[in-house]
Structure 1
Amino acid sequence: MKNLMFAGCDIVKLAEKYKTPLYIMSEDYIVERLREIKNDFLNRHEKTRAVYASKAFLTKEMARIVHREGIGMDVVSGGELYTAMKAEFPMEDIIFHGNNKTIDELELAIENNVGRIVVDHIEEMDLIEEIAKEKNKKVYILFRISPGLESDTHKYIQTGQVDSKFGIPLTEKTISSAMEKALNLEFTELLGFHFHIGSQLSDNENHIKAIDIMTKLMKKVKDEYGFITKELNTGGGYGIHYSEDEHRKPLSYYTDSIMIEIEKQCKSYDLERPLIIIEPGRWVVGEAGMTIYSIGAIKEIPGIRTYISIDGGMPDNPRPSLYEAKYEGVIINKIHEEPTEIVTIAGKCCESGDILIWDLKIPKVERGDFLGVLSTGAYNYSMSSNYNRIPRPAVVMITEGKDRLIVKRETYDDILRNDL
């Protein structure tokens, strides 16, 4: 076989069938990760819950897969919530995040009995209580706490530091104000706390530090307010392989040590161990995806660089421009040929920063060859745009070697649909 195989499919044939750029996803890989969550976390530890962080990748079909495998979902917008609703995802299994949920989004969530709302700032409780009273609904909330930790990841995907747009700061005055308000609400019930320290994390050091901080908070609110923490959401952020020496660790690497630390800290503070929630997203879908491009212009600047241009780039994968994210790529129709050239993969946008991969070693290529970029399952389709009025690619799901279309390719008319 001369072409690259992925999830049991000849990728060149998929590129010819569906055209490029093309996102392809392996359902088998996704299901394997979801079942690892069940086997190595939910079944191994009592009083636990797992939700998929849908911002990484969400379509109606993805929502159906997650529900079928018995995992809940975390959403961060009305659009993500509405997608889950249209896929008939159980609302009680959804956790709704967001640092600035609009009134319309909160009304949609509360009207449809979303399972939990994670409160990101104190004033948000007034909005929730007002809407819940109007609709005569009971709303269950968690406080998102900013634990004041800086994780070893790109600054744009750090989320737990003191200077962050996310979460309630861990100060005496702020925590007191939040607790006093929450405990006096009629239609809103506080169940516990949430933290998230960052994304694409390769070690567990700051998760452990955060648990120490959060269990001290649990002890404090018990002593001062008689509040028993029923739920503690430890977020996600588990890293995957993108390039070089990055490696996806098994879920148990993170969750076993998290659970050991929580058990130890709760015992030392004489606290009942709460329900523990995790929210993996990238870890579930990142390595399940690949993006296929057709090679177009080839521009050699003697003694400096050779640019290989593709028919996509920044609109379908903004991460290299945003985070200096690094990817691995291969020429899928020449997978067995010897790499002889070092080139730079350039996107087609009118933007100097639209570079997908710097200094990639590949065989000699020509117009019409196919480039496959690996580990694009997370934050590619979900962050895609119509910059330069470029239509978004199709998404194909592969299951047991069989492909099916789950998102149609956009047309120019789709881009113009809302123009007046």
Structure 2
Amino acid sequence: MRAHEAGVLHSDIGNRGPAWLRTPVDVNALVPQLWPRTATRAADGALAVGGLGVREIAAEFGTPVYVLDEDDLRSRCRDFRAAFADADVYYAGKAFLCRAVVRMIAEEGLYLDVCTGGELATALSAGMPPERIGFHGNNKSVAELTRALDAGVGRVVLDSFTEIDRVTALARERGVRPGVLIRVTVGVEAHTHEFIATAHEDQKFGFSLAGGAAVAAALKILDEDVLDLRGLHSHIGSQIFDANGFEVSARRVLALQAQIRDARGVELPELDLGGGFGIAYTTQDDPAAPQELAKRLRKIVDGECAAERLAVPRLSIEPGRAIVGPAVFTLYEVGTVKDVDGIRTYVSVDGGMSDNIRTALYDASYSATLASRASAAPPLLARVVGKHCESGDIVVKDEFLPADVQPGDLVAVPGTGAYCRSMASNYNHVPRPPVVAVRDGRARLIVRRETEEDLLALDVG
């Protein structure tokens, strides 16, 4: 949202006098923190990524299309591995998962976090070593847990007493001793949307710390001595920029660690602080680099362990959005441009809430740029909307686009790698877009576009 770049706050939009029209905005600029690392403007002004222009991508694969910069994704994997060299980095597959991405993160030395049987099936079919897979979820079925144990997943993150009993029974039947972590609800409400804050007490995840369920779960597992209790897990939310929440969470989880030690004489060897690290969707977002995150988290954990007289456990984290989010943009074609009585200009594209529900669901903010050409036209404050039969079908709430934007232009929306394809739907019977990976001037299809035949194949009539 380059309105921010011009010193314009989102909340101010719509309350402007004529002075706003003189605000200097470069509608052709690519703000580096918003775009994949190889994104550039070609000599003709068109957006290019991985050495390939978007017009060529649109011509071959159509629009809308998710475009993944493979070098960008791999470099972010390496950044986290280097920053957390003495920790385990689990890619949070729920952000976006397909077999090609599984192979990429495996080749870059990451572990993988899955939370459903479908995600586990994708990981295994792509050849991810099962010992490098962690299995999350608040309601894992017996069938899902059976498959996970039979496959030999590295760890199961337990979320309820029912699940402890399920995994214990399955382990006894198979004569195995799976590694498990306990998910702890620490009562920290991260500064994020209500639906993606996951550590306050009134929500579905984990064992309550304040109510005593977390320590009871740990003692139950230790006393039954069937499962290998390796550590504690905490996840405080998503799109987090402030480390204060992690500090409070670590303090409370490590206090629980000390409580378990004092009760049973056992120091658990692992600690997972989850993920939720934020990315830049607009110029108002200022995410920390992995090196800075690692420095902060190590300082927090080392300090709390010293205070509790605990050995420092092996740390693990779960970045998903921070790896895949900035590596992808969505490419659309403009269908109509409509001025509504001078109040607002609506730029309608050939996708919408079926390929990016986050604006409607979370009131998320995104940026956009005219991608198929450069323009010398003055900036126009526009709203980028989709083709669905909903007034809330908004992709980008407010963005400066050139005043000559017209049908047939390509518009690109950055930062769409996380959750957009994962949460995509067939609303209004719109087929979901493909995912194309670009590298060294070449594009390859990694998830194909759905067709009307795909939709009708499920309709048994």
Q: TM-score, normalised by structure 2?
A: 0.88
Matching of residue 282 in structure 1 with residue 321 in structure 2: yes
1:214 equivalenced with 2:253 (yes/no): yes
| Aligned with 1:400 (options 434, 440, 445) | 440
Partner of 1:8: 51
The structure 1 segments of at least 4 consecutive aligned residues displaced by more than 6 Å after TM superposition are none
- Secondary structure of residue in 1 paired with 2:333: strand
**Which shows bigger deviation, 91-100 or 181-190?**
181-190
Judged with a 3 Å threshold, the aligned counterparts in structure 2 of structure 1 residues 285 and 322 are, in CA distance, closer, same or farther, namely same
Q: Check whether the contact 1:117–1:139 (CA below 8 A) recurs between aligned residues.
A: yes
Q: What amino acid does structure 1 have at the position aligned with 2:280?
A: H
User: Deviations for 1:122-146, whole angstroms, at most 9, x for unmatched residues?
Assistant: 2211011112222222211100001
Aligned residues: 416
Q: Indicate conservation of the 8 Å contact 1:248/1:283, yes or no.
A: no
Q: Counterparts of 2:293 and 2:412 in 1: how far apart (Å)?
A: 30
SS at match of 1:384: coil
Matched with 2:223 is 184
Gaps of at least 5 residues in structure 1 are none
Q: In the alignment, is the contact (CA less than 8 A) between 1:192 and 1:231 conserved in 2? A: yes
| Cα offset, 1:243, TM superposition | 0.7
Q: Distance in 2 between matches of 1:173 and 1:52?
A: 30
Q: Deviations over 1:93-137 (max 9, x none)?
A: 011000111111111111111110000112211011112222222
What secondary structure does 1:100 align onto?
coil
Which residue of 393, 409, 412 maps to 1:372? 412
Hey, what does 1:71 align to over in structure 2? 110
SS of match in other structure, 1:277: strand
Matched with 2:180 is 141
Counterpart pick for 1:382 among 419, 422, 444: 422
Task: Name the structure 1 match of 2:267.
Answer: 228
Q: How far, CA to CA, are the matches of 1:8 and 1:24 in structure 2? A: 13
Give the distance between the partners of 1:173 and 1:22, measured in 2 at CA: 48
Q: Quote how far apart the aligned CAs of 1:416 are.
A: 1.9
Name whichever of 332-341 and 402-411 sits farther off.
332-341
Matching residue's letter, 1:413:
E
Q: Distance in 2 between matches of 1:293 and 1:306?
A: 17
- 3-state SS of 1:396 partner: strand
RMSD (Å), alpha carbons: 1.3
Residues 22-41 of structure 1 aligned to structure 2 (within 5 Å): 22-41=65-84
Shift of 1:302: 1.4
For residues 195-250 of structure 1, give each alpha carbon's deviation from its aligned partner in whole angstroms, at most 9, with x where no partner exists. 00111111211101111111111111100122211110010111111013113321
Give the distance between the partners of 2:376 and 2:279, measured in 1 at CA: 27
Counting only pairs closer than 5 Å after superposition, residues 403-414 of structure 1 correspond to structure 2 as 403-414=443-454
The letter for the 1-side match of 2:76 is R
CA pair 186-416 structure 1, distance change in 2 beyond 3 A: farther
Point out the more displaced range, 75-84 or 395-404.
Answer: 395-404
Moved more, 244-253 or 23-32: 244-253
- 1:81-100 equivalences under 5 Å are 81-100=120-139
Distance 2:163 2:259 in 1: 23
Please state if 1:359 is matched with 2:402: no
Q: Is the 8 A contact 1:339 1:361 kept in 2?
A: no
Distance in 2 (CA, whole Å) between partners of 1:339 and 1:113 is 59
Q: Is the 8 A contact 1:145 1:193 kept in 2?
A: yes
The answer to whether the Cα contact below 8 Å between 1:21 and 1:393 also exists between their aligned partners in 2 is yes
| Cα distance in structure 1, aligned partners of 2:376 and 2:122 | 43
**Percentage of matched positions with identical amino acids:** 38
Partner Cα distance (1:404, 1:238) in 2: 29
Q: Provide the secondary structure at the position in 2 that maps to 1:56.
A: coil
CA distance in 2, matches of 1:279, 1:389: 34
Letter in 2 for 1:205: N
Partner of 1:129: 168
Q: 1:339 to 1:137 in 2, by over 3 A?
A: farther
> Partners in 2 of 1:59 and 1:176 — Cα distance?
37
Q: Which amino acid aligns with 1:410?
A: E
Report the counterpart of residue 150 of structure 1 in structure 2.
Answer: 189
> Quick one: structure 1 residues 173 and 154, their matched pair in 2 at CA, closer, same or farther if it must change by over 3 Å?
closer
**How far is the alpha carbon of 1:386 from its aligned partner?**
0.8
**Aligned match for 1:163, one of 202, 215, 222:** 202
CA contact (8 A) 1:129 1:186 kept: no
Q: How far apart are the structure 1 equivalents of 2:440 and 2:288?
A: 24
- SS of residue matched to 2:59: helix
Query: What is the match of residue 53 of structure 1?
Result: 92
1:203 matched to 2:250? The reply is no
Distance 2:293 2:316 in 1: 13
In 2, Cα distance between the equivalents of 1:239 and 1:297?
33
- Out of 193-202 and 5-14, give the one that drifted further: 5-14
Instruction: Output aligned runs, 1:342-353, within 5 Å.
Output: 342-353=381-392
